[in-house]
């Protein structure tokens, strides 16, 4: 990635000439608001239409937004701040405080921040971050329901899956293949989201460079 100072100068031109933390605050607020509005509009639509893998699609779009924002705000905790803004907007849209959606966004932001800190900011890291984030969405319902209902819920799930396998005449190998395919689709969706986020970030950065040079030539 290019040096952050020229990058900050370029983005500062779009934030009223602000620099440093003031500039970053504006950018984080903007991307956090975009994330929240996407959750409110697209999220409600996907849920209402009951589109298969709608949750994975929503997480992919969220990843594109906050990873793009993280590119332009290379500060620790920036994704968490964007997530907090998005979560607050989600609460206002619902009209009351519901822990589920609020915590889901914050956990998503926490995981995204941790993965970016671990892998860094480049195309491959963004693709890995997206893949791992989408894979987490598969296990998240089991974790959250285990916390709420206790470990007995896992026994119920196991009995249900065993019964379905018996009805469909599927053995363990078949079930594992199905799970692997399902997980693979999520991983590919996450990798695509990371690729789009990085490509979009670089395209915006290059356009800002072009505009910066054009303004310099006319000044």
Question: How much is the pLDDT for 55?
Answer: 86
Contacts of 97 (CB under 8 A, 6+ apart): 91
Among 135, 133, 31, 136, residue whose Cα is nearest residue 75? 31
Q: Which positions of the chain have pLDDT values less than 70? A: 1-20, 93-100, 147-149, 212, 215-219
**Predicted local distance difference test score (pLDDT) of residue 97:** 53
Q: 166 in the Ramachandran plot: left (φ > 0), alpha (ψ -120 to 50) or beta?
A: alpha
Distance CA 42, CA 58 (A): 7
Q: What are the start-end ranges of the H helices in 42-98?
A: 44-49, 54-72, 78-94
Predicted pLDDT at 2: 45
* Predicted pLDDT of residue 46: 84
């Amino acid at each position: 990635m290019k040096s952050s100072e020229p990058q900050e100068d370029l983005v500062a031109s779009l934030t009223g000439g602000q620099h440093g933390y003031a500039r970053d605050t504006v950018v984080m607020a903007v991307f956090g608001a975009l994330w929240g509005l996407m959750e409110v509009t697209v999220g409600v639509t996907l849920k209402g239409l009951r589109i298969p893998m709608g949750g994975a699609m929503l997480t992919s779009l969220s990843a594109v937004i906050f990873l793009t924002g993280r590119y332009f705000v290379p500060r620790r905790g920036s994704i968490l701040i964007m997530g907090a803004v998005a979560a607050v907007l989600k609460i206002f849209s619902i009209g009351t405080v519901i822990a589920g959606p609020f915590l889901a966004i914050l956990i998503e932001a926490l995981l995204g921040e941790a993965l970016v800190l671990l892998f860094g900011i480049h195309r491959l890291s963004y693709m890995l971050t997206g893949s791992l984030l989408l894979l987490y969405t598969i296990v998240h319902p089991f974790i959250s329901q285990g916390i709420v209902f206790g470990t007995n819920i896992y026994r119920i799930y196991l009995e249900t899956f065993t019964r379905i396998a018996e009805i469909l005449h599927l053995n363990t190998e078949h079930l594992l293949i199905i799970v692997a395919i399902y997980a693979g689709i999520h991983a590919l969706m996450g990798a695509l989201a990371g690729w789009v986020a990085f490509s979009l970030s670089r395209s915006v950065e290059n356009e800002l460079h072009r505009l910066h040079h054009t303004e310099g030539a006319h000044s």
